[in-house]
Amino acid sequence: MFVVGGESLIDLVQEPLGPDGVIRMSAHQGGSPYNCAIALSKLGNDTGFLCPISKDGFGTYLLAPLQEAGVKSLLPERVFAPSTLAVVTLNAKKEARYEFYRGADRAFTAEGLRAALPDGMKVFQIGGFCPIEPEDAAVWVDVAIHALRKGAILSMDPNVRPSLVSDFDAYKRRLAAFLDLVHVAKLSKEDLVALDASKSIEQHAKELLGRPNCELVVVTLGDEGSVAFTETGTARAGIYSPPMFGDTVGAGDSLMAGILTILDEQGDLKPGRLSRLDQAALEKVLRFGAVVAGLNCARKGCTPPTRSEVDTVPHLPD
């Protein structure tokens, strides 16, 4: 099973201001780990989601896509804390910017999360809000170590959000504790700039690969595609542009799911094998991820494609 740990939330997207001057919001299910879990399941993977879900109406709204996609809720008992909210503004390029009001995604205990981890995990994917708060980070690191001991590959997409952090230096120390555990790290170029703008992407990748477990680093470059690094090779791939464009919400989460999926299918999602991926292998992985992300961008909001939709794209690598 692929297990994804981290937040689910409601995106409240501001609609264009009408002539009456009233702000209207539309509600959409979201959260980077939530999106990734759905994308993994729609790509055909047995997937579990490790996040508390509120008893409120938004919680019911969040559960529906998980159930539709076949994602197993690993914390089935819903909590009284209100659903976490993100207020979303789209810029002229339809790229999303967020402000957060947190609730149910933090209503957990270390004991509860550890107990919910299934046996036989292939992957434990973490990220999003996990390193934001010191007390939360301590719990998620503990759970990640528990997953590692159960034999899981660890992967992380931190989605660095400086606006959520009061002490960014302390946040970077917490994030480093996670990065010391993971085998696969996926970050955006914006993440790397926020962490240290003085370093190049290549320097960041080299430092990540020098951590105790890390064997594969993927960096997304927006409309310039993505680049991947191992000890053995480096590769770059462009984006996949769908025939029609919706927006970029969830593109990175879908790409992450695509990368984990193709690595597993190729038998490479194992310690020692990831580090041996060469340029040709990395290009194949990135192109598959790009197609998954591109098809997500064909619709508004995060709507990851099914595996059958991905397989209809004619120029996927053999």
For the stretch 190-202, pLDDT in tens is 999 999 999 999 9
In the prediction, which pLDDT does 15 show? Answer: 75
Superfamily of domain 2-8+30-81+108-311: Ribokinase (3.40.1190.20)
pLDDT exceeds 60 at position 235: yes
Residues 6+ apart with CB under 8 A from 303: 246, 250, 296
Put simply, whether the predicted model's pTM sits higher than 0.85 gets the answer yes
Write down the domain spans for the chain. Answer: 2-8+30-81+108-311
| SS3 per residue for 210-256 | CCCCCCEEEEECHHHCEEEECCCCEEEECCCCCCCCCCCCCHHHHHH
In the prediction, which pLDDT does 317 show? Answer: 54
For residue 20 the two structure tokens come to: 């009456």
Quick: pLDDT tens for 247-294: 888 899 999 999 999 999 999 999 999 999 999 999 999 999 999 999
Quick: pLDDT tens for 116-162: 999 999 999 998 999 999 999 999 999 999 999 999 999 999 999 88
